Structure 1
Amino acid sequence: MLGVLEKNKIGGRATLAILIGLFLPLVKVLAADLYVLPSNKSLNIGENLSIAVYVDSLDQALNAVSFTISYPEDLLRFVSLSKTGSIINLWVQEPKGGNGEVSTEGIVLNPGFTGSRGKIININFKALKPGTANIKFASGAVLANDGLGTNILKNMRDGIVTIKENIIKEPTIVSYLPTPKIFSPTHPDQNKWYNNNNSMFEWQVPEGVSEVRLLYGKDPNAMPTVSYSPPISKKELKNIPDGSYYFSVQFIGEGIESNIGRFKFNIDTQPPVLEEFSLSLQDSNSIKFKIKVKDEPSGIEKIDIYLDNNLTLTTSSDIFEDVIKNVSVGNHIFKAIIFDKGGNSLTKEEVINVPQPITKTEIVIQKDYTLYFILAFISILILLLILVIYLTKHRVEIIHKEIKREKIEKIKADLKKHLKETLQNLRHDISLLDEDPKLSQKEKELYHEAKNILEEAENKIEEKLKELE
């Protein structure tokens, strides 16, 4: 069919060129390429070779492709063809190979194909002997989807295959295999905890190793039992539960085994648990708090205490009880951030109010001595009245009766004793006022008046006692 199209196109090319020149503006010449991949390949005798034929048409849609490829039959033997993944929808000539050639013709239905690496077919060969085999395009055509069947093929790129003698590599026999050195890019430090439960482990496989045995678990002495042959050099573990584990690797060679290499890794993906929390005012400007937390399996790394977003206190204990002093009046944001050793954290935040302190009013009670002075004054007057009556009575008895001198002396002594005791008591009561600096002016006047009365009473009593003598 493509041959017919080519003849028609050639026969009517002159007429078509005239029509295009008369009725259409200048059209840019577009190009397509045919090529094989891989374009350069090395293999040994007896090995299989698989190549693919591709087409590129970046600027214009194509709707038909045809080609013939030649190959040296003494170096390569045609094995098979495959149309899997081809852009061709309708095969005008089914792909065929043999006798040093592979050829085909096919159509891409409307709207055609535009782009790069449009696969046409796969070709499979077998290498027969050493040499250089050129896989060449003997002919080819790529027709545009322009209603005219314009051949837009510009380049055809061949392939080169180098075939070598088989080199049989003798297996390496070793008498010693080193202990595997394991590294983890996700959990590099064996003493630290990580909150990543997907772990990657890597190791180098030395020469002479034909098998690798692996195992992971919590037993540090477990024997690796999971075999990989050919040996692998890395392994990823996913969704591992929290805890401490050991990843073990052992090399196996020809009749020899290495020591077991072990790598410890620790996983903690859960935040700490808050067991107890209290927050209160201790006095007018101090905040008291208590925090108790626990974490499994890594443990508590630290507790940071913030007041109004300012780091105030910190501890590495799982129980933290303390007092923040000199806190200003008003609302404050108390925040505790608890970290575990795996990098997980828990935040507890509350607002606490420090109220305005109550001002203490000093109540001063002033003593009122007015009544005291009045009672003292009345007592003195009564005492003087009694004294006068008493003296008068005894004076009359002395005059009218001849009382013996001894009785008078006894009465005098008793009288002096009682009077002195009374005066001493009065003097003591009044002297208490000398020590009080808070007397009013009126109280001071009464106080001095009482002292004068007391002195006058003492003088009168002395006079009366002399008269009795």
Structure 2
Amino acid sequence: MKKTLLISFFSLGLIFSCNAAQAAMLNLIGDKDAYPINQEFGLDVKIDSEGEGINGAQATVQFDRSILEAVKADKIGSIFDFWLTEPVISNAEGKISFIAASTTGFTGKSLQVLRVTFRPKGPAKSTLVFSDAAITAADGSGKNVLTKTNGLALTFTAASGVAEGPAQITRPAEAATGLPKKPAMTVALYPDPAKWNNVSAKFFANWTLPGDVTGVAAVLNKVPNSAPAVSEGLFEAKSFPPLEDGIHYLHVRFRNSIGWSETSHYKIATDSAPPSISNIILDGKSVVGLELVGVNAPTPEILYTAKDALSGIDHYEIAVDGNDAVATKTSSYTLPLQIPGKHILTLKALDVAGNTIEARVNFEIIPIESPKIGFISKDVFIGEGGLIVSGTYLAGHTVNIDLVDGSGRTVFHDVRGTDANGNWNLSIDTPLKQGKYFVEAVGEDDRGALSLAVRSDIINAHERPIFTLGGLEVTKTWLIFILMVLIAFGAWLGTMTYRMRQLQVSRRVTIAQRDVIAMSSLIRQDVEKMSALLKSTNLKDTREQLKLLIGKVEESSQKMTKYIVDNIGEIKD
């Protein structure tokens, strides 16, 4: 529930924008691994942002209430200045909870969040862990970028003092022929003694022991040239607690049977606190929090003050609207030309140790007066120029003119000045393709300040007509289309006529076949009757009947001839 509250709060846009964080760790840091009982000790909650900006955190530190008692939670030195939930100690439940944020973003390896003081109740071993933890990216999204939490395993003893001396080496010493050589140290956490470091944690110093060495003295303090002379035994590595911010010196000497070597001095400079930024002024106006600043200048100047108590400010980085940052070592910067509208400026101060703080400035460039488009050609033909545009604007100003196609691509650009009466005009002779276009005009004064863009009505680039018919413009494309339609219609009509003709022929052939078959049947019947009569014995009657039948056959033959001739004639037609 708390994690949701933290992320939801940051998502409101109250937290400023910088580069999105990829990962961050929440660490619990102590001076030792073992503490005496009934004595208070402190543990620090720190964040390693892993080089990316963060601006909020929440967590619950859980501890064994039967072993530890939480005494207090201290916010002094915290990077956060806004606490949605103040640190709450509950010894009854064995936990400490908090939700914290800032209106600025930070990067660093040991960013201080909270210091908690505990008191052990008795001898025991105990582990402290984080739960319900989150770290938010300083990009306004509220994204949880926490990837790992590191708790602590501690031991509590009844001894009044807990000694954590270095691990001793037992060996016979070689015979010494002179004083030992000066120790050569390495410190893995702080490999370069000439640089500032932004990490604070327990660390080891290592060296190689010559064969004749019988004792080692190793002391860490803030005195540059200490020469320790008390041996702690024979050892080749020693652990040291996390350092407070500042300059420290590690001093190591070897001793043999003849005496002490020269002292090796190793400088360790730590600065885990981010710088601070104040007194931001943009275009002569003080920036208050995230309030929107109205700006008239097209290239406004920003002034700022940043401080760092230890390592000092190394440089600044300034970016607008997420574009590439510009680095500068000065406390002022003039922005490049800004278009009218709202913008977000991020100002980052980096100290020598590598810690950063980032502030956001919301500003709006106030546009100057816009030009007017008074006339534009109505007829624009493809493949031709001759687009005329004219308008009015402030005398002595210039007008940036763009011809933009339907996909938003600028196909023509020109700049025209106004005359003494504020008039401007332009003839665009660029051949155009078929499509929709518009003209966009932006005013500009001698400072480079810009107006908001004004747009013309849509311009349709089309073919030049071949002729006009009844008020209708007929272009080459339309003429070709009409001819193709007529040809297609003629082809269809011819096909349909042919099919109808074929259907009629088929019907007439069918009728002719029917009539011929009928006449043939009649003739066949008459011939059969004649054949039967010829076989009759009554010749008188036979002749009369044959005469009658022959007449019918002739009549049927004539009819069949007529049917055949007429139907074939109709088919030919």
Which TM-score tier does this pair reach, normalised by the shorter chain?
A: 0.3 to 0.5
Under a length normalisation based on structure 2, what TM-score does the superposition of the two structures give? 0.32
Under a length normalisation based on structure 1, what TM-score does the superposition of the two structures give? 0.39
Which of the two has higher C-alpha Rg? 1
Q: Which has the higher helix share?
A: 1
